[in-house]
Chains A and B, each alone.
Chain A
């Protein structure tokens, strides 16, 4: 921790008491730039979280498949669910139509990197992201209302509509994360570190 040492002169009463015994001594105090002076190993604030509490909130899914729940879904079921719960905002087939302003983004395009608009087919690097996002945030008007099976099915439908998986694939925790997205190869991590270069 960053610390600055300063000298603070003791207040008159203390000084008086001190001067009875010793000569005047400035007291050294550590003035921190962050946090407090003395720190215990632990403060003891907060409480242990239970396994149930963690399970209730831990809904994230990683590209390596960690977090994918039990359940499964297919393109056919996904198509029906999409028509019921998503088409009203993302369009009947999820594509952008000239002159039509939809409340939700276009979800279906082709897999060519230069295509517009940016969709799952040409701009999403991981299939797991789709599952994670739709489970937590969609449908926009009823977030968090889809069952895991429903999310698997809609994921299958949208991946198929974007020509990434075949129509007969059944998605589950064992294969969803293995789907290779066309856009993955396009993504690069920012490696800029400051300094004069414009990148």
Chain B
């Protein structure tokens, strides 16, 4: 079948476009390897304007209403039918520009009039209530920087993979909104409530059940991302923010919360986002396990002999990054990397390690330890703990880059035997 570009898509409205239809096939893939590079949507080529040799001799254009990136910088998300991935290799620190935040949705991006959007809270509460966006913004506000990561964030399978291809379903923003506890206090929560259902107003009417403890701990309802209103792909006008919990639970386009004594067992917490562990299926894995990735040097970059600053990000859904270690000898020995301060809880943490490369073929790796004492495992350790039929969720193995004699950098795709 032919791929549809954006233009074809428009023409195909009314009918069911292939891109829309495809969602299911990819979502159903069991191993990440199977969905590898499925139906990627090509990115447009940048247009570079004519450049003069001496910019000091020509007065440039004046100020404008909206800033743009330099035409020489073209970081782009890599979009497939159901998600788009953050270009981790283009990031120099840990805040993801909002237009590069990864996307994953199950029935497209809804268009919502903020003036009409309301949040309903009901169930085991004293007073069932509705809040407009304006109401939500009147409550005391809080700003927090943390990552959001899809629980299916790991791909492997071939050497020509970038950090974006491998782990691009994680991004970090500075989120602003109201603590969910503030809103729950307003409604009054019954002692019997142990869980709450959060529901979006997209065409999937996405639902997940969340333990009530998260509401009293650090859950938020957010309306701003990096200082401005949330992007439509990220849940405009409001989304749930559950720091450290799997991305899918951070319900976007939030319209309803219902308090309950038991979980709802929605499709996304039973038939999806669950994975085999030996002869059982594990469900309700909320926190994302600690992981790290070297983003420089990485494929398709090349390194030169001499000093190379190895750079990357590390994070944990269970708290702060305690330390990151880097190996430049294929995992035989490990050295401490420098962590960029401030190290925030449940946040991407930038690490750096200075390496004097002598030109030998080798492998470079990183591994993180979080504040609970958890050390990022190898793929072999994960297979030992869970069995060879790993599924595609909550996979956080140590990953390696191969450095060739000529400075070529390639991913090391490990396979499960």
Contacts and interface: CB of A to CB of B under 8 A. Distances in A.
Interface of A: 34-36, 39, 42-43, 45-49, 53-54, 57-64, 89, 101-106, 113, 116-118, 120, 123-126, 128-129, 132-133, 136-137, 140-141, 143-144, 183, 186-190, 192-199
Contacts of A126: 265, 270
A171 to B, nearest CB: 18
A143 B108 CA distance: 12
A57 B179 contact: no
A36 B370 CA distance: 30
A172 B135 CA distance: 40
Interface stretch (B20-28, B59-67, B159-167, B305-313): B20-28
Interface in B23-75: 23-25, 27-28, 30
Contacts of A60: 197, 199, 207, 258, 264, 266
A196 B374 contact: yes
Contact of B370 (A101, A117, A189, A194): A194
Interface string B130-144: 111001101110100
Contacts of A36: 140
Interface in B232-279: 255-256, 258, 260, 262, 264-267, 270-271, 274, 277, 279
Contact of A35 (B128, B129, B179, B280): B179
A59 B200 CA distance: 12
Contacts of A189: 282-284
A45 B122 contact: no
A106 B282 CA distance: 21
A48 B127 contact: yes
Interface string B206-227: 0100000000000000000000
17 contacts: A34-B179, A45-B186, A49-B129, A53-B120, A60-B199, A62-B264, A63-B262, A63-B264, A63-B265, A89-B21, A101-B25, A102-B24, A105-B24, A117-B28, A140-B21, A188-B280, A194-B370
Nearest to A35: B140
Contact of A186 (B106, B122, B280): B280
Given A54-B120, A58-B122, A194-B287, A45 B138 contact: yes
B286 interface: yes
A77 B287 CA distance: 43
Interface of B: 16, 18, 20-25, 27-28, 30, 106-107, 120-122, 127-132, 135-136, 138-140, 142, 179, 182, 185-187, 197, 199, 203-205, 207, 255-256, 258, 260, 262, 264-267, 270-271, 274, 277, 279-287, 318-319, 370, 372-375, 377, 381-382, 384-386
A46 B186 contact: yes
A133 B22 contact: no
Given A36-B140, A48-B129, A61-B264, 17 more contacts: A35-B182, A47-B130, A54-B120, A63-B265, A101-B25, A103-B16, A103-B23, A125-B283, A132-B266, A189-B283, A192-B287, A193-B372, A194-B373, A195-B372, A196-B374, A198-B377, A198-B382
A59 B24 CA distance: 23
B182 A133 contact: no
A141 B14 CA distance: 10
A69 to B, nearest CB: 15
A103 B179 contact: no
A129 B266 contact: yes
A194 B318 contact: yes
B266 A133 contact: yes
A7 to B, nearest CB: 23
B264 A43 contact: no
Contacts of B30: 116-118
A60 B209 CA distance: 11
Given A183-B281, A188-B280, A140 B24 contact: yes
